[in-house]
Structure 1
Amino acid sequence: MRHPSARLVLLVAVALVASGCTQLVDGRPVAGKVVTKEGTDPGFIKGTDGGGIDRLAATAITDVDKFWEDAFPDTFGEKWRPLEGGFYSVDTSDPSAKPPPCTEKASDVEGNAFYCPSADAIAWDRAALLPVLKDKFGDAAVVIVLAHEMGHAVQRRMGITPEAERREPQKYPTILTEAMADCFAGSFVKWVNDGRSEHLDIGTDTLDSALGALIKFRDPVGTSPDDQSAHGNAFDRVSAFQDGYQQGTKFCGAMTVENRPFTQQAFTSMDDRDRGGNLPFDEMLTAITDDLNKYYAALVATKGKTWTPPKATPTQDEPKCSGDQGPVAFCPEDKSVEIEVAQDLPELHAEIGDYATGVLLASRYGLAALSTVGKSVEGPDAATNALCLAGAYTREVFTRQQGFGLSPGDLDEAVQVLLGYDYAARDAAGKSALDPGFQRVDVFRSGVFEGVKACGLG
């Protein structure tokens, strides 16, 4: 979070153009599983060793190609053209390995996967990228990465070529083309989950794995949206993937700098940068509870109700006032909020960041707001609306020009805590949690983008 004395400038991302690629950035792993109905011979991949990683890659590529064989004509009115330059697997641990197109030496591919527009080819590191993804996130991450890179090949067939990018750099910033490729990958995963894939069978937990992998690929916190290599923060990349999953390829192909908002931002103060955008735990609790009271007081006043600030009670043990809500709980009996300050919440704060704490508190105060306006605080609707209200509150603090607000990385922290934990989506009885994390992030996003009107309060 940004300290009240700092100033936030809301940025819409515009970046110079660079060719699309995937590189590893530290993030929280979320396990997932892809079941291959039958493997595909990787013999068509240049440089393959015929091993399991390239077999998985070949299986994914085969189905992504089939997806676009059907989807491209429907989306763009033209026949799909398979990649002319093919696919390259590179063992970057082998000094004698041949370099793929767009590189001078094999080591240029280390930890990377990319689409080479001049050769119309896709290459990846089978030694230090795909196995790492598989180990941390399951097979799904490999599938998502390759579907994303194929999305860049789709863009070339749309006319978004390096020449067009150089000619109109403001029309095709990198952050936009990366979002579009994430969106296309989401559409492919939906196609697989609908049972239309010949070789892949993806379980529901794979959606969380896919989002976890996108977090892994986000830009480092504080990266300027004007950076020519900017690919987007986790929130923007997850949003693009979910939009593709829900809206389809036509929506993805229609993305422009005019209709696609981005939340990525650079640090606006040295103090905020030096803290990594995070307030100390105790300072965060004091600042955000005061701000939440002001926000929800104004909100319930629009419904003709008066807000009574819940008593925020610190506890050394996990709150048990009303079921198991995790380390922060709304207690409907006395309309208080209990906050565990000894272990779990401080650990989440330290592990993910201060807005992990913020999201959990905002959702429990959301339950207090539902109670104040006479809405039920138990059941699926209550759980969904409380999480949505946390998103609506986030929208408010993100758009502020001064005072208490978000720092770079806070929205990413929200995505991480929602993927990893269901606390913010439990009702006041500690039940009715939304699963999987993919759905929790989607509900939160609805509050961020649509505000209170999406949250059952009108």
Structure 2
Amino acid sequence: MISRIRAKRRGSPNPLVGALAIVAALAASCSAVTGGDGVVDARAGLPTTTAPQTTETSPGAGRDGATPTSSDDLDIPLTTQDRPTTTESTDQAPPADVPEPVTTPPPSAGAWGEVVVLIESFWDENFTQFAGSGSFEPLDRDRIVAVSDQTRDLPACDLANISARDVEDNAFAAVCPEGQLVVWDDDDLFAELFDQYGVTGPTVVLAHEMGHAAQFQAGFINNPTLILEQQADCVAGAYAAWAAERSIAPFDTAAGLDAAVGATVSFRDHPGSSAADSQAHGSGFDRVRAFQDGFDRGVGYCAQYPELSLPITEFPFSTFEEAQSGGNLPFNDLISLVSPYLNSVYADLNDDWQAMELSAGDLDGWRNAHRSIGDNATGTAMGLMFAKRHQVLNNLPSEGEGALLQQACLTGAAFAPLVFFDERISPDNLSLSPGDMDEAVLTMIRIVETNQDRLGDGFLFEAVAALRTGFTEGFDSCDP
């Protein structure tokens, strides 16, 4: 979705203006956009052709569109020299360091009751760090509900009965006079998430929604919706780290973290949505960034979200024509625009840089990804190629997993001036369009899934983290 620039975007990375107060009932959700009835549609933000489909052991298979079947299709040469060879052990794994439960499983939560109990145990330990004082109050057991076709009686909210139709394809948390409420569609939404991402998909949603419950209790309610949603993504990541430390499934394996990337990006807002919209939840890149913030830095950092200038990449299309095209340039046009920019970036970093000329033939293996993911799949491939040339010039490792992580970081750093204006380096004729950084994440998913035999579990989480680090912290953060 790279576009020819018509007007430079300048100013703060955070475009939010004013406070959008969250209301009771159906206000806070893991989902993307709302329908006319005001109920949030949890699957409206799913990419129409590119949502990564994962299992616990093989994250990242695309829903629609052709997926390359070999690394040659992606023109990303890889070796496994960085990852030591391991053999499967027959020893029994040590018991998980599972804390004593602070609650009993809600009978109405179905198969996910134990997950709810674990998340409440997490908040029992971490609420004070998040809120500054006080303790987490577990929700009433009958107000945490997995809604199925057989569900007849749902809890009331503000004296109004919630129907199964309200929850269809949805999950949400709400503040009600009768007490806090968390509900989800167990038949469709959670079944689909489980099919695509294993246990990780529904667990990420529950951690997000229970994060809203913690927000309500901590008093974070009067903040812009986008900040509240990404803060909930952040605390979901903090829960994942807490669970990983205690060997609690699904985050006791690296594959669970990879699946979390796919699940989180799948709930992105539609490209072109405004960050200031009252139902904004965030771009896929921003939501994954928030989840990884929580995983890396914990709930104390998540608590600072309302005060931070977050690097938000969600913004509307600048013209009607850009919206009509989805911001996507034709394959050849993109290459001719991006090549000069990347050459200028790396000439600034390397005194002896010789212009690297890429033709459509050099990137022929990326045509399918250009169509199915978007034009920044090709842009990301070009970024990785230029980054590899930089590594070679500087006598840095250019093959293997460690090298690919650095390439992802450098690519993220090169993309940042195309979103946030940098007087020194931002070009006059090029910018990223809405959804382009989502496409970068989806491209990393495609690369990892295509090279699953050589890139082990957990590499996707690391690769997206490297892309994020370069984008938010710049080229210096990519130094070995």
TM-score by length of 1: 0.80
Secondary structure of the residue that 2:46 maps to in structure 1?
Answer: coil
Report the aligned-residue RMSD. 3.1
Q: Which residues in structure 2 correspond to 1:277-426 (within 5 Å)?
A: 277-300=327-350, 305-312=351-358, 314-315=360-361, 339-341=362-364, 344-378=365-399, 381-400=402-421, 402-422=428-448
Deviates more, 1:287-296 or 1:240-249: 287-296
Q: Is the 8 A contact 1:364 1:424 kept in 2?
A: no
Shift of 1:190: 0.9
Matched residue type, 2:472: F
Aligned to 2:115: 60
Q: 2:213 aligns with which of 137, 153, 162?
A: 153
Aligned to 2:471: 448
Unaligned runs of 5+ in 1: 49-53, 166-171, 316-338
Shift of 1:224: 1.0
CA distance in 2, matches of 1:43, 1:423: 36
Secondary structure of the residue that 2:53 maps to in structure 1?
Answer: coil
CA distance in 2, matches of 1:201, 1:374: 37
Unaligned runs of 5+ in 2: 31-41, 58-92
Q: How has the CA–CA distance of structure 1 residues 361 and 435 changed in structure 2, closer, same or farther, with 3 Å as cutoff?
A: farther
Q: Is the 8 A contact 1:279 1:354 kept in 2?
A: yes
Shift of 1:158: 0.8
1:21 aligns with 2:29: yes
Shift of 1:200: 5.6
TM-score by length of 2: 0.77
Shift of 1:243: 0.5
Q: Which residues in structure 2 correspond to 1:166-185 (within 5 Å)?
A: 172-185=223-236
1:106 aligns with 2:164: yes
Q: Is the 8 A contact 1:30 1:208 kept in 2?
A: no
CA distance in 2, matches of 1:123, 1:237: 21
Q: Which residues in structure 2 correspond to 1:37-76 (within 5 Å)?
A: 44-46=106-108, 54-55=110-111, 57-75=112-130, 76=132
Q: How has the CA–CA distance of structure 1 residues 377 and 88 changed in structure 2, closer, same or farther, with 3 Å as cutoff?
A: closer
CA distance in 1, matches of 2:400, 2:146: 50
Deviates more, 1:201-210 or 1:138-147: 201-210
| Matched length | 405
Q: How has the CA–CA distance of structure 1 residues 272 and 410 changed in structure 2, closer, same or farther, with 3 Å as cutoff?
A: same
Q: How has the CA–CA distance of structure 1 residues 229 and 196 changed in structure 2, closer, same or farther, with 3 Å as cutoff?
A: same
Aligned to 2:14: 12
CA distance in 1, matches of 2:170, 2:265: 15
Shift of 1:392: 0.9
Aligned to 2:173: 115
Shift of 1:307: 1.7
Matched residue type, 1:184: V
Q: 1:30 aligns with which of 31, 34, 53?
A: 53
Aligned to 2:198: 138
- Structure 1 residue ranges (4+ consecutive) displaced by more than 6 angstroms after TM superposition: 34-38, 40-43, 423-426, 430-434
CA distance in 2, matches of 1:311, 1:136: 39
CA distance in 2, matches of 1:192, 1:310: 46
Q: How has the CA–CA distance of structure 1 residues 411 and 435 changed in structure 2, closer, same or farther, with 3 Å as cutoff?
A: same
Q: Which residues in structure 2 correspond to 1:433-444 (within 5 Å)?
A: 435-444=458-467
Which protein has greater RCO, CA pairs closer than 8 Å, 6+ apart? 2
Secondary structure of the residue that 2:329 maps to in structure 1?
Answer: coil
Shift of 1:205: 1.1
CA distance in 2, matches of 1:203, 1:142: 16
